[in-house]
Structure formats: C-alpha cells, structure tokens
C-alpha cells in the first residue's frame, strides 16, 4: 500500500512540475482587469466549474467581484488565462488558470488550477 501511495504521490508531483515548467515558457501579457471582456471570460471558468463539478474550490468561488489581475497567453492553438479575483460576500480571493480551445463557451474551458482562500481579517 505504501508503495502505491508513493507512486501516486510521485506522479502528482511530476504532473505539477510539468504544468509549472509549461507556464514558465508562456509569454504572459498583463491585461486591463476592468475590461468587460475579461469579466466574461472569468464567468466562463466559473460556469465550467459549476456545470462540471471539477476543480471546485473548497471555499465559495462566486459571485465574481473585483478582478485583481488578468493575464493572457497564446500557446499551441489555445488561449490561456490567469486571473485573480475577489468574492466579496465571503471575503475570499480566488485564482484561476485555464485555457480555452475552440469556441468561446464554458464547455471549451479547460481548467488547470482553481483555488480560493479567505482574506477576511478576524478581530
């Protein structure tokens, strides 16, 4: 059993390194986070998570409030996006990394990472 867990852990670590190495090769271009186009794109990622249930953060990830940053890259026929945004009702900040291949719809979104953490100060 320990051997199986070790190999599973090793596989996950290799996958994470591959994704990290791939991102380093991207030529990320900062975009205006106030541009309505990027708000729509963030909503596509949120809608994808809502419909598929995959990559669902363990904290509330909607509604989307202010977008802190929006970065884009174009690699291998896919448009890549990296966003950070706030979920004001819960005091959460969320990060999403994903690409869109093909038509711009929630079904074309391929999420690589989606996480949220609570930023609300207590006391």
Predicted confidence band of residue 102 (pLDDT cuts 50, 70, 90): confident
Q: Pairing relation of β-strands 109-118 and 92-100?
A: antiparallel
Q: Hey, what are 2's tokens?
A: 């320990």
Element (H, E) at 22: helix 2-25
Q: What is the pLDDT of residues 24-71, one digit of tens each?
A: 689 999 999 999 999 999 999 999 999 999 999 999 999 999 999 999
pLDDT of residue 18: 43
Q: What is the pLDDT of residue 120?
A: 72
> Could you tell me the pLDDT band of residue 23, with boundaries at 50, 70 and 90?
low
Domains delineated in the chain: 28-118 (3.10.450)
| 42: Cβ contacts below 8 Å, ≥ 6 apart | 64, 67, 70, 83, 85, 96
Residue 72 — φ and ψ, nearest 5°? -130, 155
pTM score: 0.76
Q: Per residue in 78-87, pLDDT tens?
A: 999 999 999 9
CB 66 within 8 A of CB 86: yes
């Amino acid at each position: 059993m320990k051997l199986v867990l070790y190999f599973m852990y090793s596989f996950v670590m290799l996958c994470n390194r591959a994704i990290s190495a791939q991102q380093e090769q991207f030529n990320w271009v900062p975009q205006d986070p106030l541009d309505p186009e990027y708000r729509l794109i963030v909503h596509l990622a949120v809608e994808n998570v809502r419909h598929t249930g995959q990559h669902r953060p363990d904290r509330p990830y909607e509604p989307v409030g202010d977008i802190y940053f929006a970065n884009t890259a174009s690699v291998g026929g896919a448009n890549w996006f990296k966003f950070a945004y706030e979920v004001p009702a819960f005091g959460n900040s969320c990060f999403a990394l994903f690409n869109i291949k093909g038509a711009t719809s929630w079904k074309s979104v391929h999420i690589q990472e989606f996480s949220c953490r609570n930023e609300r100060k207590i006391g």
